[in-house]
């Protein structure tokens, strides 16, 4: 895909030559059948070339159009997405740097505002370079086309919320009103859920799947990649082969809970009840100051495995929706009502603890140690001599599963981290262990009735 545009220096070609998977992606982008087109490939698959050329070829054909390029964040975008984009501009020395590099060296560029990360072409089209970490800044704009690069690395960004916002920002008359996602697979996160499992945040079938097109290509089929043998030697046969080479998925690196496995730790809800100790429960509560509010219902099997049986995980929710001693829900039942009366290991908020107690639930302040709590949860993920993990998660608890699969070491203790359900689990498991380990017997109230070793 390439176009020729007239400049003061004469005719200039924008675009280049592409391989099969890239061409199939261009066809999907031009079809008018999709709101989101995904190009998923390995390292060296040509993601940046594809995204940059698509935005530029669309922009030079649409005077005064508005385009958005999103990296995971602006810091990561600088040496990767943005640099690759500037390199695809026609002309010489178009990458902004200390050696007089400047996008304005390109004959198709009228101006570049480095502070605002905004490129203006000679036809008045504007390309905004942004970060997905603060995507709300673009909520008031409309875009002819959007390119989101390395989407699997959008750490703390909720892809469902981001898509909902951006798809409503694409209603320009000129179009094409399509969003392109380019990425390798990086762990079993929301990018995996959307582009592989095609499910929504509630683990239900993705309602906009008919407006989604996925193109997968192996980097080893890219004729423009000169280091195939080097990449084969590095990744073939390794745990990262699917991600690094073939546009598939491998576990993300740097995860806090690297031993978590969907196959090992997630279990179907159907039939699970028969394996649980009757009337045994404990709960982990996170107040949701940064949203959402979380309460985990944790049970135990007859083989002493903890099971996250159910979860309340709601943004912009009220405590009364969880526990309602004063009946202010007007006939609607609070989520915890009717469940076994186990101990609630709670966030350190006295008013919330009082509300649980007023409704008859024994609630205590949780032990919130990050280091001790994380280590304990890691220990619970391990398997015993019979191959049984110490903790299981019912498959309906999709938010907790998602957090397990995406929570990284560099997010620990950070306010932007998405770890609300993990906090609730840590509160419950670690505090319960601290209270009832060793030779001490547990209390009553269903919160553990035997030794926990």
pLDDT in tens, 288-322: 877 889 999 999 999 999 999 999 999 889 999 99
pLDDT of residue 301: 96
Rounded to an integer, the average pLDDT of 84-98 is 93
User: For 62-76, b where at least 16 C-beta lie within 10 A, e where not — what string?
Assistant: beebbbbbbbbbbeb
Nearest to 344 by CA among 360, 327, 325: 360
CA distance 444 to 423: 24
What are the tens digits of pLDDT across the range 314-372? 988 999 999 999 989 877 899 999 999 999 999 999 999 999 999 999 999 999 999 99
User: For 335-359, b where at least 16 C-beta lie within 10 A, e where not — what string?
Assistant: bbeebbbbbbbbbeeeebbebbbeb
pLDDT of residue 432: 96
Q: Is the pLDDT of residue 449 over 80?
A: no
What are the tens digits of pLDDT across the range 423-437? 999 999 999 999 987
Angle (CA) 152-429-325 rounded to 5° is 100
pLDDT of residue 232: 94
Helix-helix angle 398-406:420-436, to 10 degrees: 90
pLDDT of residue 322: 96
pLDDT of residue 178: 97
pLDDT of residue 163: 93
CA distance 153 to 134: 14
**Which position has the higher pLDDT, 399 or 252?**
399
What CATH homologous superfamily does 2-246 map to? P-loop containing nucleotide triphosphate hydrolases (3.40.50.300)
Rounded to an integer, the average pLDDT of 3-15 is 86
Q: Are 141 and 26 in contact (CB under 8 A)?
A: no
CA distance 421 to 404: 9
- 3-state secondary structure at position 329: coil
Q: Is the pLDDT of residue 270 over 50?
A: yes
Rounded to an integer, the average pLDDT of 59-88 is 91
CA distance 200 to 208: 9
Tokens for 411, please give them: 């997010």
pLDDT-derived band at 212 (thresholds 50, 70, 90) equals very high
Q: Is the pLDDT of residue 252 over 90?
A: no
Rounded to an integer, the average pLDDT of 194-202 is 90
In the chain, where does the domain assigned CATH 3.40.50.300 lie? 2-246
pLDDT of residue 138: 80
pLDDT of residue 450: 36
DSSP for 421-443 reads HHHHHHHHHHHHHHHH-TTPPP-
pLDDT-derived band at 438 (thresholds 50, 70, 90) equals low
> What is the average pLDDT value for the chain, to the nearest integer?
90
Residue 106 CB coordination number (10 Å): 24
pLDDT of residue 290: 74
The whole-model pTM stands at 0.72
pLDDT of residue 451: 29
pLDDT-derived band at 447 (thresholds 50, 70, 90) equals low
Rounded to an integer, the average pLDDT of 155-182 is 91
How many residues in total does the chain contain?
Answer: 453
pLDDT-derived band at 53 (thresholds 50, 70, 90) equals very high
CA distance 273 to 309: 9
- CATH number for domain 262-436, candidates 3.30.420.280, 3.40.1000.10, 3.40.50.2300, 3.10.20.10: 3.30.420.280
Nearest to 147 by CA among 63, 37, 266: 37
Nearest to 444 by CA among 299, 315, 290, 281: 281
Tokens for 394, please give them: 């019912």
Peptide bond before 176: cis, by omega within 30 degrees of 0? yes
Rounded to an integer, the average pLDDT of 213-218 is 97
- Quote the percentage of the chain above a pLDDT of 70: 96
Q: Is the pLDDT of residue 191 over 50?
A: yes
In the chain, where does the domain assigned CATH 3.30.420.280 lie? 262-436
User: Phi then psi for 334, rounded to 5 degrees?
Assistant: -65, 155
């Amino acid at each position: 895909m390439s176009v020729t545009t007239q400049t003061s220096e004469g005719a200039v070609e924008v675009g280049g030559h592409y391989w099969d998977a890239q061409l199939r992606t261009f066809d999907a982008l031009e079809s008018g059948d999709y709101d989101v087109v995904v190009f998923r490939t390995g390292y060296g698959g040509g993601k940046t070339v594809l995204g940059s050329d698509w935005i530029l070829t669309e922009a030079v054909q649409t005077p005064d159009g508005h385009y958005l390029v999103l990296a995971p964040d602006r810091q990561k975008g600088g040496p990767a997405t943005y640099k690759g984009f500037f390199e695809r501009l026609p002309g010489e020395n178009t990458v902004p740097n200390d050696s007089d590099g400047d996008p304005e060296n390109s004959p198709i560029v009228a101006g570049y505002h480095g502070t605002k990360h905004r490129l203006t072409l000679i036809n008045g089209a504007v390309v905004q370079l942004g970060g997905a970490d603060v995507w709300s800044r673009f909520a008031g704009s409309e875009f002819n086309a959007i390119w989101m690069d390395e989407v699997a690395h959008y750490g703390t960004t909720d892809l469902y919320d981001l898509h909902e916002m951006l798809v409503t920002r694409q209603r320009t008359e000129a179009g094409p009103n399509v969003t392109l996602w380019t990425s390798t697979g990086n762990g079993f996160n929301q990018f995996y859920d959307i582009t592989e499992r095609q499910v929504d945040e509630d683990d239900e079938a993705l309602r906009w799947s008919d407006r989604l097109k996925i193109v997968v290509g192996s980097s080893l089929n890219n004729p423009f990649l000169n280091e195939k043998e080097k990449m084969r030697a590095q990744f073939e046969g390794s745990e990262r082969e699917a991600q690094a080479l073939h546009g598939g998925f491998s576990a993300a690196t740097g995860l806090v809970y690297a031993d978590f496995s969907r196959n090992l730790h997630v279990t179907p809800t159907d039939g699970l009840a028969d394996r649980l100790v009757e009337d045994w429960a404990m709960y982990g509560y996170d107040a949701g100051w940064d949203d959402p509010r979380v309460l985990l219902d944790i049970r135990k099997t007859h083989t002493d495995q903890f099971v996250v049986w159910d979860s309340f995980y709601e943004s912009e929710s009220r405590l009364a929706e969880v526990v309602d001693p004063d009946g202010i829900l007007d006939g609607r039942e609070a989520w915890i009502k009717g469940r076994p009366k186990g101990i609630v290991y709670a966030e350190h908020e006295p008013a919330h603890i009082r509300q649980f107690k007023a409704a008859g639930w024994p609630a205590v302040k949780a032990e919130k140690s990050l280091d001790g709590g994380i280590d304990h949860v890691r220990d619970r993920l391990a398997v015993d001599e019979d191959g049984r993990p110490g903790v299981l998660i019912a498959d309906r608890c999709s938010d907790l599963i998602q957090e397990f699969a995406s929570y990284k070491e560099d997010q620990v203790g950070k306010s932007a981290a998405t770890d609300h359900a993990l906090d609730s689990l840590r509160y419950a498991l670690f505090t319960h262990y601290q209270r009832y380990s060793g030779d001490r017997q547990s209390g009553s109230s269903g919160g553990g009735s035997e030794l926990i070793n």
